[in-house]
Structure 1
Amino acid sequence: MRTHRALGRLCALLVLAAAAGVASAQAPLQDLSSFPVLAGPPLPDGAWGGVPTVVVFWSVDCAYCKRHNARIAQLQAAVDPQRLRVLGVLEGGDVDAARQEVARRGWQFPVVIDDGRLRPRFTPRRMVPMTCLLLADGRLHQCIPGEMSEADVMELAQTRWAGPAR
């Protein structure tokens, strides 16, 4: 009887966790207008629909993030923005130092400042850098923790998820 009750609670927790995951994965970038823009071009109003998007969570205090973002900037420069977009999300650290870092390195992708509401839409993992891939319809495809090699970053432009919207 005790095992049956425990199993029932476990199933209920799994259903709740799955529902929360589905809710957060449906459209993580529905509206970015409430997040302050740190750098880069202005963000479109409303959803970022119709184009696959690479979202990178990073911190100005993270050496891995700086190398990773340099590779992400190469990806962004090499790919047509109608086929693939890039968004940086600053987490923690000095905002002025981050703004200077973006300008010094010449990163052209938009960067927003996360106030703690954006990351949970993608993943509960707190690691930086964290690279998340969104399908053209805005659904979360995958989150990749840690620094990626140049070859792996550039391969993001070739993968099937980054194809034209259907």
Structure 2
Amino acid sequence: MSESRRRLLQAGLGSLLLPAGPQVQAAPATPPRPEPLARGERVHWPQQPLALLDGSLLDLQALRDQAVVLVFWASYCPFCRRHNPNVQALHRAAAGKPLRVLTASFDRPEAARAYLRQNQYDFPVTLEAKRLAPLFSTRDVLPLTVVVDRGGRLREVIPGEMFAEDVAELIRHADRPA
């Protein structure tokens, strides 16, 4: 082994050395992330129904005339652990109102189920967070709360943990006309 190669390996840079010749291929370029929606823009939900953790399907097209509060979370996120009791309270307060609380977890199914069971949460959960999140934000922050009004327009994208009273106030979107 040459002296320069040994120094690179000791420095932890050995993975940068590639064999010479035609077998070297460039890594495929990552596709650019789509631009997230701006406030006030119409949300075009995916056409295919969302699979929910409980095994049911949610047709997002059927959410017309309902406001939607969509919360992205993960069981390993300490801020989500403090935020989700407020989401649960909002979910219960929204019963019978034109407001749907939906959450999207970045967890594996087993971890999400255990977390919901342990905390006695019954808000709906999809594991399709990676598909939905780029519609609303390029930021990698949890929790992330998204509000879509009854007319299907994006009203708010709120990064980070919210206070209980701020989450509870999101119920006001049920009262605003479509």
The TM tier, using the shorter chain, reads 0.7 to 0.9
CA distance 1:88–1:45, shift in 2 (3 Å): closer
Q: Is the 8 A contact 1:68 1:148 kept in 2?
A: yes
Give percent identity, aligned residues only.
Answer: 32
Determine if the alignment matches structure 1 residue 27 to structure 2 residue 39: no
Q: Partners of 1:83 and 1:73 in 2: how far apart?
A: 16
1:84, distance to aligned residue in structure 2 (A): 1.3
Of the candidates 107, 110, 122, which is equivalent to residue 108 of structure 1? 122
Q: Any gaps of 5 or more consecutive residues in structure 1?
A: 1-18
Q: Does 1:67 align with 2:79?
A: no
Q: Which of 125, 139, 143 is the equivalent residue of 1:125?
A: 139
What does 1:1-150 align with in structure 2 at a 5 Å threshold? Answer: 21=37, 25-31=41-47, 33=49, 35-39=50-54, 42-44=57-59, 46-91=61-106, 93-114=107-128, 116-150=130-164
| TM-score w.r.t. length of structure 2 | 0.69
For the residue of structure 1 that corresponds to 2:63, the secondary structure is: coil
Q: Over the residues paired in the alignment, what is the CA RMSD in angstroms? A: 2.5
Deviation for aligned residue 1:115? 5.6
Rounded Cα–Cα distance in structure 1 between residues aligned with 2:121 and 2:143: 16
Deviation >4 Å, runs of 4+ = none
> What TM-score do the two structures reach when normalised by structure 1?
0.74
Determine which structure has more spread, i.e. the larger CA radius of gyration: 2
